[in-house]
């Protein structure tokens, strides 16, 4: 786990340095997308092998939507608080 | 937008190919996933560190801008904790892991496959895709009912890219800066928070 965090932060520092030299950052962005494609494909493979998961796909999908709605609802309430108490127009 | 659509297609392509046994086992019975994930985490860091929009704009706007992503994190966490009182099939940890994807479905699902299992990973994928779709569809309504910040907040990490155009259109140009900042902060928080959650 520590490795994961170290990698993220060393990435941020590397990014800062690249930014300073004002070189184009198109390459990491494109590379990142390809890495994501690869990993998502891998994830698909793993899930396709999982028979029970495939069978309960719709149930799981429905549960996922509940989780999203709960998260968004909480966010909306807090956004309202933010606007009322911290960003009220003079 | 086009890229995101492709991510979903590639995912289902993987599901279909392996479901019908068209993938050689060597491909998935290795540590390749883990190491590629590490490469991805590094790249997520690089893209945040080299984000010129992020730093330049923070200086121009008041410190208060940091409250916007903070409140999104608090709000989503609050909503998920409430949900857990009535929805006990999954542990609070897993519900938070899914919710803390903040719409960044590719990274959160990939991370949760490594840290947790296929079920939670799939749920994170679906749940966070839905967060993006919801924001794209509901932004005009949200701006009217719960205010401009709520649209940004609903977008989560996507408020800096996929949902930015619709948010900008309905909240105005000055909010687009906040929206980009908000999305960028959440984008880097997603891997950090999910990793710390399962530490």
**pLDDT category of residue B54 using cuts at 50, 70 and 90:** low
- What is the model's pLDDT at position A7? 93
Which residue did the predictor score with more confidence, B51 or B29? B51
Q: Does B41 touch chain A (CB under 8 A)?
A: yes
Please indicate whether, in this complex, the C-beta atoms of A77 and B79 are within 8 angstroms of each other.
yes
At B28 the pLDDT is: 65
CA of B86 to nearest chain A CA: how many angstroms apart? 11
Q: Which residue has the higher pLDDT, B84 or B25?
A: B84
Residues B16-30 have pLDDT tens digits of: 999 998 887 766 667
Q: Which residue has the higher pLDDT, B117 or A19?
A: B117
B 157-186 residues with CB < 8 A to A: none
Q: A57: which chain B residues are within 8 Å (Cβ-Cβ)?
A: 122
pLDDT confidence tier of residue B59, bands split at 50, 70 and 90: low
Is B190 part of the contact surface with chain A (CB cutoff 8 Å)?
A: no
What span, in angstroms and rounded, lies between the C-alpha atoms of B135 and B130? 8
Nearest Cα to Cα of residue B160 among B137, B140, B138, B188: B188
Q: Residue B50 is nearest to which of A1, A19, A48, comparing CB atoms?
A: A19
Kindly give, in sequence order, each residue whose CB lies less than 8 Å from that of residue B149, ignoring residues fewer than 6 positions away: A79, A80, A82, A83, A87, B68, B71, B178
Length of chain A: 90
The confidence score (pLDDT) of residue B27 equals: 67
Local confidence band at A90 (pLDDT 50, 70, 90 cut-offs): very low
First to last CA, chain B: 33
Complex-level ipTM beyond the 0.85 threshold: yes
Tens-digit pLDDT profile for residues A40-89: 999 999 899 899 999 999 999 999 999 999 999 999 999 999 999 887 75
Q: Is the pTM of this model over 0.80?
A: yes
> Is B41 within 8 Å of B35 (Cβ atoms)?
no
Find the residue in A nearest to B118 (Cα): A47
pLDDT in tens, B118-147: 999 999 999 999 999 999 999 999 999 999
B189 touches chain A (CB under 8 A): no
DSSP secondary structure letter of residue B89: S
The answer to whether the Cβ–Cβ distance between B149 and A68 falls below 8 Å is: no
Does B113 contact chain A (CB < 8 Å)?
yes
Whether residue B79 and residue A47 make contact (CB cut-off 8 A), yes or no, is: no
Rounded Cα gap, residues B127 and B132, in angstroms: 9
Determine, for residues A46 and B32 on separate chains, whether the beta-carbon distance falls below 8 Å. Answer: no
Query: Using alpha carbons only, what angle is made at residue B107 by residues B121 and B20, rounded to the nearest 5 degrees?
Result: 50
Chain mean pLDDT for chain B = 91
| B35 lies within 8 A of chain A by CB | no
Categorize the per-residue pLDDT at B58 as very low, low, confident or very high, splitting at 50, 70 and 90. low
């Amino acid at each position: 786990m520590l490795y994961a965090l170290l990698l993220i932060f060393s990435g941020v520092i590397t990014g800062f340095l690249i930014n300073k030299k004002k070189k184009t950052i198109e390459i990491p962005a494109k590379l990142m997308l390809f890495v994501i494609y690869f990993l998502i494909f891998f994830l698909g493979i793993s899930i396709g092998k999982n028979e029970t998961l495939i069978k309960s796909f719709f149930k799981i999908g429905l549960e996922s939507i509940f989780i999203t709605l709960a998260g968004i609802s909480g966010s909306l309430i807090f956004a309202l608080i933010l606007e009322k108490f911290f960003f009220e127009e003079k | 937008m086009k890229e995101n659509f492709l991510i979903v297609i590639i995912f289902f392509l993987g599901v279909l190919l392996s479901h019908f046994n068209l993938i050689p086992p060597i491909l998935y019975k290795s540590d390749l996933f883990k190491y590629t994930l590490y490469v991805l985490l590094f790249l997520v860091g690089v893209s945040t560190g080299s984000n010129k929009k992020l730093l330049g704009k923070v200086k121009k706007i008041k410190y208060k801008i940091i409250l916007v992503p903070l409140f999104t994190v608090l709000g989503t966490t609050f909503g998920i904790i409430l949900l857990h009182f009535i929805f006990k099939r999954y542990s609070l940890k897993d519900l938070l892991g899914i919710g803390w994807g903040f719409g960044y479905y590719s990274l959160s699902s990939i991370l949760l496959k490594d840290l947790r299992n296929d079920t939670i990973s799939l749920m994170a994928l679906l749940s966070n895709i839905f967060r993006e779709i919801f924001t794209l569809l509901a932004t005009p309504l949200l701006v009217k009912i719960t205010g401009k910040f709520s649209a940004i907040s609903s977008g989560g990490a996507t408020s800096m890219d996929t949902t930015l155009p619709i948010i900008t259109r309905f909240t105005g140009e000055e909010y687009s800066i906040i929206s980009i900042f908000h999305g960028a902060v959440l984008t880097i928080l997603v891997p950090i928070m999910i990793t710390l959650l399962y530490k």
